[in-house]
Copies of this chain bind each other. A is one copy, B any other.
Amino acid sequence: MPEREYLYKGRILNLALQGPYEIVEHADAVAVLAQQEGRVLFVRQYRPAVGCQTLEIPAGLIDPGETPLAAAQRELAEEAQLAGDLELLACFYLSPGFCDEKLYVFRATNLKSTYAQPDADEELSVEWHDPQEVLEAAREGRVEISASAMAGILFALQGR
CB within 8 Å of B: which residues of A? 1, 7-8, 10-13, 15, 18-24, 26, 29, 47-51, 54, 56, 61, 88-103, 121, 135, 138-139, 144-147, 149-151, 154-155, 157-158
Q: Does A48 contact B151, Cβ atoms closer than 8 Å?
A: no
How many identical chains are in the complex? 2
Assembly CA distance A29 to B29 (angstroms): 21
Residues of B within 8 A of A96 (CB): 47, 49-50, 54, 56, 144, 146
Which residue of the partner chain, among B7, B92, B101, contacts A149 with CB atoms under 8 Å? Answer: B92
Q: Does A92 contact B47, Cβ atoms closer than 8 Å?
A: no
The residue of chain B having its C-beta at the shortest distance from the C-beta of A47 within the complex is B96
Q: Knowing A22-B13, A24-B24, A150-B151 touch, does A54 contact B93 (C-beta < 8 A)? A: yes
Residues of B within 8 A of A138 (CB): 90-92
Q: Does B24 contact A13, Cβ atoms closer than 8 Å?
A: yes
18 extra A-B contacts, CB within 8 A, seeds A47-B93, A47-B97, A90-B150: A7-B8, A7-B15, A12-B98, A23-B49, A47-B96, A49-B96, A49-B97, A50-B102, A51-B100, A88-B139, A90-B135, A92-B146, A92-B147, A92-B150, A93-B144, A147-B151, A150-B151, A157-B158
Closest 4 CB pairs of A and B: A154-B154, A47-B96, A92-B150, A94-B94
Most buried by B among A15, A121, A135, A144: A15
Q: Does B49 contact A139, Cβ atoms closer than 8 Å?
A: no
Residues of B within 8 A of A92 (CB): 138, 144-147, 149-150
